Structure 1
């Protein structure tokens, strides 16, 4: 998410992420506005909960301090899961398809990504799509879980786990 690679998250990084996401999906003014609202709202929440020195920048250490507390803040995690589901579900049909998921990962990574091997790991019931409930469980596993083998580990695509786990 650190668009300028300065080791900090700033509002401009979330604006750049939002622009990347809009660039890889079908355009619709109403859905585009909703995506912008969700993403910039997430930035505001991250800033308010993580920016300990109030410099309008968030370091990795500040983010990790909040992540370490998410297991006791499951209502917050569930709220972000609902908002992100809405953002990823581009056509509003109540399901996330493999293509919608791929566009999410491409937007977050800033590059083209093949998610054909990852989506089936997330789609635990094998029906070819993620329901709101499935996504919420995956999102919670990613942000508040501690099992590196859980399917939710791969919500943002494949990556190498750091030495020693999360």
Structure 2
């Protein structure tokens, strides 16, 4: 484990603590999904929104809630960082740990349904809903578009999230997926 992961996890925590109270709760995880659904302009009861809600409920139950060491229903930064350190040790487990929620987010971000996320879609979701500055979104997107096609396909998106959650390189483009990390 390197300090790079701690920095990335802290950045992710800042986005996941939607209400800004210093802890992540089931409500925050739900609000995160609502924020993305609203940025997309999707109806709360749409298939994509319901799939995302189910995926986030599973993400809460299987990944975040077990990090709650004191059983108070809240996960603070220390608990979350230690929990990610314990849970996200093997990139081979990405398909079970992160993959299903990542697929939901990909479908939500892919605003026009062409099975790729273009720069505008990326910027809208990570910028508007994720509070990532536009210039950071553009730089990260450009670096993640490995084939230079102008869009991220599902495989590129999964590679980025796998690098974010399991990678140790603070200079990797995906390290800044949820905002620029500071060393």
Q: Smaller-chain TM-score range? A: 0.7 to 0.9
CA deviations 1:68-105 (Å, max 9, x no partner) are 23553324433313431332223554322223322331
Query: What is the TM-score when the length of structure 2 is the normalising length?
Result: 0.75
- The change in CA–CA distance for 1:127 and 1:97 in structure 2 (over 3 A counts) is same
More helix per residue: 2
Q: List runs of 5+ in structure 2 lacking aligned partners.
A: 1-15
Q: List runs of 5+ in structure 1 lacking aligned partners.
A: none
- The change in CA–CA distance for 1:98 and 1:82 in structure 2 (over 3 A counts) is farther
| Superposition RMSD in Å | 2.3
Query: What is the TM-score when the length of structure 1 is the normalising length?
Result: 0.81
Contact 1:67 1:144 in 2 (8 A): no
Q: Distance between the aligned counterparts of 1:38 and 1:94, measured in 2? A: 19
Q: Say which SS state the counterpart of residue 159 (structure 1) adopts.
A: coil
Contact 1:98 1:119 in 2 (8 A): yes
Indicate which of 154, 159, 164 corresponds to 2:176: 154
Kindly report which structure 2 residues correspond to 1:44-63, keeping only aligned pairs within 5 A, or say none.
44-63=61-80
Query: Bigger relative contact order, structure 1 or 2, given CA contacts below 8 A and separation 6+?
Result: 2
The aligned residue for residue 122 of structure 2 is: 101
Answering whether residue 58 of structure 2 is matched by residue 41 of structure 1, we say yes
The aligned residue for residue 36 of structure 2 is: 21
